[in-house]
Amino acid sequence: MSQTTVKILVDNTKGVLNALSGRDLLPAARNGGLVVQNSARPAAPIDKGALRASIHVEDDEVTTTAAWVNVGSELIYARIQEFGGVIEPKNKKMLSWLGKDGSRIFAKRVHIPAQPYLRPAMDNNHEQIKNAVGATIKMIIERVTA
C-alpha cells in the first residue's frame, strides 16, 4: 500500500466507516447472494423450470454494522427438494397424482430423497462469493475516498 493510499484512508476514515454501515453494505451482500443464486439455479432438481426461476436473493436484515440476504425459493416444494422428507396426506386417506403415462397413482406416503441445490451453491463458491462481496466493498471505499 502506498503512503498516498494510507493518507487517503486515514483522512477519510469517518467517510469509510459511514460507507461501510449496514445499509451501504447491502449491495455487497446482494452481490454475494447473486453468486449463490446463479450457481443454484442450474443445479435445482426439478427440470420444469419453475423452481429454478423462483430462486432469488432477498434482503433479510440490516444493522448499523452488517447486512444479510437470503437466497432461496418460496415454492412449497423447494424445501423438501433441498432436504428430503416424507409427504403424508393431511385431509385424506391417500395421496394421489397423475403418473407420466397419465394413470392415477395412490400412496399413503411418499419419501422424497434430498437433492440439495442451495447448500452446494454456497459450499462450492466461497471464493467467488468473497470476491463479489470484496469487489463491491472496494467500490464503496473508492467512492468515499475519491
Q: Which domain holds residue 25?
A: 3-76+117-145
The number of angstroms, rounded, from the C-alpha of 77 to the middle of its chain's C-alpha atoms is 17
- Give pTM, 2 decimals: 0.80
For residue 50, give Cα distances in angstroms to 34, 72, 78, 95, 132: 18, 13, 10, 22, 27
pLDDT, residue 9, reads 55
pLDDT, residue 40, reads 95
Which of 47, 39, 129 has the alpha carbon at shortest distance from 81? 47
Run means of pLDDT, 10 residues per run, the chain, 146 residues: 50 67 87 96 86 94 89 94 95 94 96 96 95 91 77
Q: Give a yes or no: residue 97 inside a domain.
A: no
pLDDT, residue 8, reads 54
Q: Give a yes or no: residue 94 inside a domain.
A: no
Q: Give a yes or no: residue 108 inside a domain.
A: no
